[in-house]
């Protein structure tokens, strides 16, 4: 008996084929760098200018002048809230941060099954929010699912970390702001005003940042009609990768390894010779100062102390080495450098740095999920086939 496998169609299109012949397809840059894949009203990054915005407002200006809840409301609701609306949003988040008793009872078990807090959050997501497909929800139902997840994310992450560390999780306090309660649930202590401000500004600065990897993942999953919790779970998976969510704790390791700032040049040259990545420097988009780093530097300098002074000197010396290494490339201090310091000064342990990022970025993910679901078309691009020539196979 003979069977035949036909070659790929000679007229493939992106709409009906996942993989098409490279000779028939438009070539795109690796990683889709610079390729426009959608329209969005949530925000954008202008890397050459060192600028980014939420909706129509400068994100760093918002972080300076507005509290976290006002900025979160702007992202998910599409407009800057009045003082009364912001307070209502704050109260709504606070009440929703309280984890249901049955979920709280399961967190120790969930935490024991998961390798880290982010993984625990992915496991818990279907238990804490409506898992109905967005395709079957109206706008109000999708918004409700989003707000529930945004509110409870810091509670789940803090509870998971504490359970994995062998200490009792702490229930949320609805009377506190989102940032202050996150610090309290992680550390077990009421944070100082300086610590609260440091974490709140960090969270405010990192809620959204263009069509980044995890945001795109959330939109792709949403485009299938999947639930909000499924889309957030996929985004968390993307964020867990060190090339996206980063590893701010490695900045502290680097500063510690360098020791005296005068050792920076020798340490950096050895690292570069070894092909190692210098943590806290360089960015895929910014060709001017990273505005997030600028504001976080200010926050850290306001708190002060020997570590901040040492890190700032390391930063300046490191930039000098990197400019000599690649004189024709703009290399800037990225958000990870001072984010690590800000979180450390607030008492957040290194294992919770990337989870803290998720506590912030979940608001941006939800803003994009709501936008995608409101005017949806499934995202199904093509790929260029680059394997051996396709031929007809005959087997006996």
Active site residues: 283, 336
- Cite the DSSP H helix spans in 244-394: 249-258, 264-273, 291-303, 306-325, 335-345, 353-374
Write out the DSSP string of 3-56: EEEPPPPSS--TTT-SEEEGGGS----GGGTT------SSEEEEGGGTEEEETT
93 and 147 Cβ atoms separated by less than 8 Å: yes
CA 31 vs CA 27, 307, 387: distances in Å: 12, 37, 19
| First-last CA distance in the chain | 6
Burial class (CB in 10 A: 0-12, 13-18, 19+), 3: exposed
Give which of 300, 371, 350, 274 is closest to 55, Cα–Cα.
371
Burial class (CB in 10 A: 0-12, 13-18, 19+), 30: exposed
Burial class (CB in 10 A: 0-12, 13-18, 19+), 99: buried
From edge to edge, which strands make up the β-sheet containing 51-54? Answer: 43-46, 51-54, 57-58
Q: Which residue has the tokens 């809230």?
A: 81
254 and 280 Cβ atoms separated by less than 8 Å: yes
């Amino acid at each position: 008996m003979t069977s035949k496998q036909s070659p790929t169609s000679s007229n493939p299109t992106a709409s009906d084929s996942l993989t098409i012949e490279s000779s028939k397809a438009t070539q795109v840059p690796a990683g889709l760098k610079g390729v426009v894949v959608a329209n969005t009203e949530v925000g954008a990054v202008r890397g050459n200018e060192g600028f980014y915005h939420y909706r129509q407002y400068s994100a760093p200006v918002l972080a300076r002048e507005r509290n976290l809840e006002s900025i979160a409301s702007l992202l998910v609701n599409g407009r800057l809230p009045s003082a009364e609306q912001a307070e209502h949003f704050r109260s709504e988040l606070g009440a929703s941060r309280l984890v249901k008793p049955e979920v709280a009872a399961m967190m120790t078990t969930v935490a024991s099954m998961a390798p880290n807090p982010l993984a625990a959050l992915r496991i818990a997501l279907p238990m804490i929010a409506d898992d109905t497909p967005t395709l079957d929800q109206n706008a109000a139902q999708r918004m409700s699912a989003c707000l529930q997840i945004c509110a409870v994310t810091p509670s789940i992450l803090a509870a998971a970390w504490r359970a994995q560390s062998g200490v009792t999780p702490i229930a949320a306090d609805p009377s506190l702001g989102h940032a202050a309660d996150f610090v309290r649930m992680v550390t077990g202590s009421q944070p100082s005003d300086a610590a609260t401000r440091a974490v709140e500004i960090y969270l405010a600065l990192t809620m959204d940042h263009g069509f980044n990897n995890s945001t795109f993942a959330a939109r792709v999953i949403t485009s299938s009609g999947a639930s909000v919790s499924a889309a957030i779970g996929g985004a968390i998976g993307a964020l867990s990768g060190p090339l996206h969510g980063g590893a701010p704790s490695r900045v502290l390791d680097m500063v510690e390894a360098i020791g005296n700032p005068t050792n920076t040049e020798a340490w950096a040259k050895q690292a570069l010779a070894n092909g190692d990545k210098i943590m806290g420097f360089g960015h895929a988009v910014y060709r001017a100062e990273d505005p997030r780093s600028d504001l976080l530097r200010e926050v850290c300098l306001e708190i002060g102390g020997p570590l901040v002074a040492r890190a700032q000197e390391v930063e300046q010396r490191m930039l000098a080495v990197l400019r000599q290494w690649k004189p024709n490339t703009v290399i800037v201090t990225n958000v990870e450098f001072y984010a690590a310091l800000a979180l450390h000064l607030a008492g957040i342990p290194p294992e919770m740095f990337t989870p803290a990022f998720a506590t912030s970025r979940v608001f941006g993910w939800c803003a994009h999920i709501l936008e995608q679901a409101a005017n949806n078309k499934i995202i199904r691009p093509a790929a260029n086939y680059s394997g051996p020539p396709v031929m007809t196979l005959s087997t006996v």
